[in-house]
Structure 1
Amino acid sequence: MFRTALRNVLAHKARLLMTVLAVMLGVAFVSGTLVFTNTISEAYQKSSAKGFDQVDVAVEPKYQESKGDTVGKSPELTQALFDRAERAPGAASAIGVVNGFTAVADKDGKLIGGGFQSRGGNYWGDKDPRYPLTDGRAPSGKDQVAIDSETASRAGYKVGDTVRLSVDGPVLTPKITAIFTTDDGNVAAGGSLALFDTATAQQLFGKNGTYDEIDVKAEAGTSQAQLKAALDKALPKDTTETTTGQKLADDQAESTAKAMDGLKQGLLVFAGIALFVGTFIIANTFTMLVAQRTKELALLRAVGASRRQVTRSVLIEAFVVGTVAAVTGLVAGIGIGAALRSLMGSFGATVPDGPLIITPGTVGAALAVGILITMLAAWLPGRRAAKIPPVAAMSSVHAKATTKSLVLRNTIGALFSGAGIAVVLAATTMSGSDGQAPMGLGAVLLIIGVFVLTPLLSRPLIAAAAPVLRVFGISGKLARQNSVRNPRRTAATASALMIGLTLITGMTVMAGSLQTAIDKMASSAIKADYVVSMANGNFLSPDVEKKLTGTEGVTATSPLRNAPSRIDGETEYLTGVKGSTIGELTDLKVENGTFEVGGDKVVVDSDTAELHGWKAGSDFTVSYEDGKKQQLTVAGVYEGNEMVRGIMLDLGTLSPHQSNPTDMQVMVKTSDGVSGATKDQLEKALGTNPAIKVQDKKDISNDIAQMFTLILNMVYGLLAMAVLVAVLGVINTLAMSVFERSQEIGMLRAIGLDRKGIKRMVRLESLVISLFGGVLGIGLGVFFGWAAGELLGTSLATYELVLPWARMAVFLLLAATVGILAALWPARRAARLNMLTAIKTE
């Protein structure tokens, strides 16, 4: 039986090639994902570990939890604490670390490093062991800076050049006095690092003569653990905590691994979808191969082979095919992993040097996935073939599905679909994250139910296409009949396409609806012409608002300033605004009282008011971050949203209690309204700063739209593989259909249907099956998009369902294109059949 199975594999090379391709694509994605994430993770971990070479023990401030009326904060690492750490037994030297955000512009004025990876720090003394200089000398004073070699190379900077940079808004133009190398992971990922002398860094980052961290180096012969113990004795335990360099490196490695796990899981989901779609192809392929060998298998049964042996022979074929596909997919996956790493460079991200990491786990996963998926998908056709009685098989009497089995299938499908719809609808009534898990479960149940019911659904839906198919005469009529001849196989083929289009449509519906909701929110809540903020979401200096206020044409400004406080024993964030102008800049619906901000009068969003039981006229006591208390009065309750919410009070009331005030953003109203000239004027007033964004409502919406578009394009790209696998499935089904109808096709040719008519018949059949899958996928996608939107609507008041009709038409056109392209080879093969040979086919 083993030799028979191997011969059968070699006898159907062309047909099995499609199965190998389907499995190989899925395996390649799985192994490529594992190779890519393992390689990146290993490279970053090694790079991060080098960054801790100069740290034996790190001293950090110990965060003081909020208690009673006291707002939680981190104590300051003063110069006195630094001196005590440096003099601790076993300490050879110490470095005071100062960190903060620093945006560096290139020579064209554009931001380097994407904002989020733009960092600044201090260069310690004349020679900092953390940052070896490759050129120049250590920076000294406000007008000098050192930049990393990667940034210098990308921007074309050299020692002596003047560079534009920003820490919290205002533009600085220091001279570059040094270029240095670093193992900083942010720089390795494409970011930038700018270093000032310690005094300048402390001033720029608002540290007031203090440090973010103290790194201590041990004397020769002193271990990290011994130095840690000495520092614990020398420093106050209630305000400082110590960590060994090895622990920091291990924590960083674990953090990197976790970050990669998220990416890995996301990519593996799409690989799983492709493999799931591939199972339909595998099942169809082996069904076709078994159908071609029905008499052969019957003869084996007649000469003594048992059912188990027949099933086993089919599984052996599947094992061979799966092994070939898995090995090929693994090799392709290694190439994909290497290509993905190189591709990161084209997006401006730089990956630390290191070899490709191919672990035994990656090899094992590729082989296991390829072989098990193939054998699992081939098991049902093999079992079905073994159940055919030898006499019936040798007489070409093929066993058809019994009425009982069809009733059972439809009942199971209806139960799964009903349960799925019920769970999804129940999830839409829940709030936020509570409904995510039930909705995911409901979606899985519904997809399974629709898949099981697809044979039943195929007849009425394909019948609906009859009027259009009549236009193509006898070819169209035959195509419709052929499409419903084997509903199970048609369903399996259509389902492969259905799954991909369900996900694509659902994501598109959600993205479009969310974008509309954000547009409405911005237009309804903000009357300001412009909103000014940092490019990376960092805090702005109060000087930015002062400069804007003094700019010609600006009629009103107000910053939005966050500050922690304690109210009724709980932490609440206050939002400081200009009470005199905030009414001109916002358009918030007042539910109770009046919108009045000034002195001890504040306005509160409805959610916060409900939480505390407040209404207009209510008094409450607030404890500020400096420990002082004040009684405030609620003047009004407004309807908050994602853009504006919280307890608003006047800056004159809040600012005296802040030691280092910073703004989240600044709202601006101008006399000329929104125009290109006004925007340019505001940007020039801020020094044409690449780190600052000046945006009108449309710009804000476009920013969000870009994010959604990026996510959608990634999803489309990843699901393209599943669609490609679905194309192979359609080709497989049509090839099977042509084989089964060889005699019929020969007879049609004999009675006058020409080759063009045969080709048209096969193409129309493919088109109908593909459109059937497309309609199901788009329908399910719209339902899931609506359901997910209802769940989001509980926290986003402006959300409403928006159907992207144009994109859905494109998706349907994509399904039709898939059908036409997939039919090319089977249609050509059917038209080339010799009619006399075909008629004699049994």
Structure 2
Amino acid sequence: MRTAEQPPSAALSRVRGGLGLVTVVLGAGLLFSLTDATGADDDNLQTALFGCGILVTGLIVLAPLLAGPVIRLLGRLLTRFGVVGDLARENTLRDPRRTAATAVALMISTALVSGLAVINQSTSRALDAQAAAGLSADYMIGTRNTIGAVGSDAVRRIADVPGVRTVSAVADSVISAGPRVVPVSGVDPRTVDEVLKLRFRSGSAEDLGPGKLAVSHSYARDHHLTTGERIQAAIGPGNRRDEPYTVVGVYQDNPTAQDVLGDRAEVQRHSYLRDSVQRVLVRTTGGTVSDALEKRLRSAVSDSPLLKVQSRAQLVEEQAGVAGELITLMFGLLAVGVLISTLGMVNTLAMSVSERTREIGVLRAVGADRSGIRTMIRLEAVCVAAFGTLLGTAGGLFGAWKVSGLANGAIPQYSFSLPWGTLALVVLLSLAVGVAAAALPARRAAALGPLEAVARA
């Protein structure tokens, strides 16, 4: 009734299983080595990339051997379809190598998307928490780019707005110590503690002044700096003249403070626009935030379209919006994987229907109707899609879990968080691939008449 198949020998299966297991263990081992990682430096990133790549390769090698047990487990869900469900399960298991090859594209795309979704969710929450935790100011008025400026008259008008308690202007520029250029914020040591929540590991912002800097923990770690050390650095874009600076403090990473804090007057002299400030941090009386107060602040800066007036909540929301591009990238990757997987499944199912023409004819002869044949082909496709989705999601979540150590060092608020809604959507879309891919082959199989099928085989 069917063409004789040549399954791989037991020896070849054992070799493949051993090779796949070693590869998976090696990839997992590299990812486990990142458990105590303290930052996303080049070496750690390379280890993460190699670990994820080797892990996925191992899953691809093991896929034909995993297909049997996994699909038998998933096949239990098909029992409600009766004989049609049993036939779909057994047809999927007929050639595990073909099933695995068909599911690989979907597995890879699902692994990428699920892993990135978890990292995106966890990082977004951490950045939101960090932004909220690092800012005491109730409003921030800032330029839309680094070459803009908030005029000194506008700063004075902001200070005179009813309901404003403290105003602290910030000058933004860049600083280079060696080949690396990072942002530097020039602040007023007398008011900075009222508008920023700076958690110093050593030293204090009160010691800032000409020739003195405070640096973030990440910057200090990367440059091997401690409080009291002197460094040679140049402040300002294009400035190549190094000057000696003393490190007067090391603070916990703060996105509002950026990598380095300096004396405002000194940074202003070397900003993109000389003697200018780019941000004004405002503390209101009693922490008041209202539409009326925001309107008064906008009036104080003459409703300039070049300036943004944002409350702390709006700043946090803007920080979360940065992740939108990554989400678009994730679903772009999924779309590519879906397209490749759909084409692969259509091809595989078409070949399967062609090979089983006589079987389909016999099934029609013993009482299977066209609807039953279509359902059988669709369930086969769903089994393949579910297998690839399960393997890919498991690999992606494991990789994201172990890589999370890279973010812990840079963002103390980082914690592993699962985006249940996104993961559920990915699973549903992946299963929908199976249903869509089966449409044409199922229609072709159902169109075969019993006598015609037997005669054509």
TM-score, reference length from structure 2? 0.84
2:139 to 518, 530, 551: 530
Q: Which residue of 2 aligns with 1:641?
A: 254
Q: Which residue of 1 aligns with 2:444?
A: 829
* Alpha-carbon distance change, 556 to 597 in structure 1, aligned in 2, over 3 angstroms: farther
Say if 2:51 is the partner of 1:442: yes
1:580 to 169, 185, 190: 190
Are the aligned partners of 1:432 and 1:792 in contact in 2 as well (CA < 8 Å)?
A: no
What is the letter of the counterpart of residue 422 of structure 1? G
| Shift of residue 571, structure 1, vs aligned partner | 9.8
Q: Which residue of 2 aligns with 1:809?
A: 424
Say if 2:389 is the partner of 1:774: yes
Instruction: Classify the secondary structure of the residue corresponding to 1:803.
Output: coil
What is the letter of the counterpart of residue 24 of structure 2? S
Q: Which residue of 1 aligns with 2:7?
A: 400
RMSD between aligned residues: 3.6
Q: Distance in 2 between matches of 1:768 and 1:622?
A: 63
Are the aligned partners of 1:738 and 1:826 in contact in 2 as well (CA < 8 Å)?
A: yes
Report which stretch shifted further, 445-454 or 668-677: 668-677
* Alpha-carbon distance change, 607 to 835 in structure 1, aligned in 2, over 3 angstroms: closer
| Shift of residue 447, structure 1, vs aligned partner | 1.8
Structure 2 alignment gaps of length 5 or more: none
Structural mapping, 1:299-698, within 5 Å: 397-426=4-33, 429=37, 431-543=40-152, 544-562=154-172, 575-592=185-202, 596=206, 605-606=216-217, 614-615=226-227, 618=228, 634=248, 637-645=250-258, 648=261, 651=264, 660-671=274-285, 673-698=288-313
Q: Distance in 2 between matches of 1:596 and 1:446?
A: 50
* Alpha-carbon distance change, 709 to 652 in structure 1, aligned in 2, over 3 angstroms: closer
Q: Distance in 2 between matches of 1:655 and 1:577?
A: 10
| Shift of residue 416, structure 1, vs aligned partner | 2.3
Write the deviation string for residues 666-718 of structure 1: whole angstroms up to 9, x where unpaired. Answer: 21112362233322221222121121122223323333333321343244235
Report which stretch shifted further, 516-525 or 552-561: 552-561
Q: Which residue of 2 aligns with 1:313?
A: none
Write the deviation string for residues 34-56 of structure 1: whole angstroms up to 9, x where unpaired. Answer: xxxxxxxxxxxxxxxxxxxxxxx
* Alpha-carbon distance change, 680 to 470 in structure 1, aligned in 2, over 3 angstroms: same
Number of equivalenced pairs: 444
Write the deviation string for residues 145-182 of structure 1: whole angstroms up to 9, x where unpaired. Answer: xxxxxxxxxxxxxxxxxxxxxxxxxxxxxxxxxxxxxx
Instruction: Classify the secondary structure of the residue corresponding to 1:576.
Output: strand
What is the letter of the counterpart of residue 733 of structure 1? T
* Alpha-carbon distance change, 426 to 486 in structure 1, aligned in 2, over 3 angstroms: same
Write the deviation string for residues 277-336 of structure 1: whole angstroms up to 9, x where unpaired. Answer: xxxxxxxxxxxxxxxxxxxxxxxxxxxxxxxxxxxxxxxxxxxxxxxxxxxxxxxxxxxx
| Shift of residue 410, structure 1, vs aligned partner | 1.8
Are the aligned partners of 1:494 and 1:773 in contact in 2 as well (CA < 8 Å)?
A: yes
Structure 1 alignment gaps of length 5 or more: 1-394
Structural mapping, 1:213-224, within 5 Å: none
Instruction: Classify the secondary structure of the residue corresponding to 1:596.
Output: helix
Write the deviation string for residues 765-789 of structure 1: whole angstroms up to 9, x where unpaired. Answer: 1111111111222222223333443
* Alpha-carbon distance change, 471 to 647 in structure 1, aligned in 2, over 3 angstroms: closer
Larger Rg: 1
Structural mapping, 1:20-99, within 5 Å: none
Larger RCO (CA within 8 A; separation ≥ 6): 2
Are the aligned partners of 1:621 and 1:631 in contact in 2 as well (CA < 8 Å)?
A: yes
Say if 2:311 is the partner of 1:701: no
Q: Which residue of 2 aligns with 1:793?
A: 408
Q: Distance in 2 between matches of 1:623 and 1:458?
A: 59
Q: Distance in 1 between matches of 2:317 and 2:76?
A: 44
Report which stretch shifted further, 589-598 or 763-772: 589-598
What is the letter of the counterpart of residue 586 of structure 1? L
| Shift of residue 808, structure 1, vs aligned partner | 0.6
* Alpha-carbon distance change, 745 to 585 in structure 1, aligned in 2, over 3 angstroms: same
What is the letter of the counterpart of residue 514 of structure 1? T
Q: Distance in 2 between matches of 1:623 and 1:483?
A: 65
| Shift of residue 746, structure 1, vs aligned partner | 2.0
* Alpha-carbon distance change, 509 to 723 in structure 1, aligned in 2, over 3 angstroms: same
What is the letter of the counterpart of residue 728 of structure 1? L
Q: Which residue of 2 aligns with 1:54?
A: none
Q: Distance in 1 between matches of 2:33 and 2:242?
A: 48
TM-score, reference length from structure 1? 0.48
| Shift of residue 648, structure 1, vs aligned partner | 4.2
* Alpha-carbon distance change, 562 to 534 in structure 1, aligned in 2, over 3 angstroms: closer
Are the aligned partners of 1:424 and 1:438 in contact in 2 as well (CA < 8 Å)?
A: yes
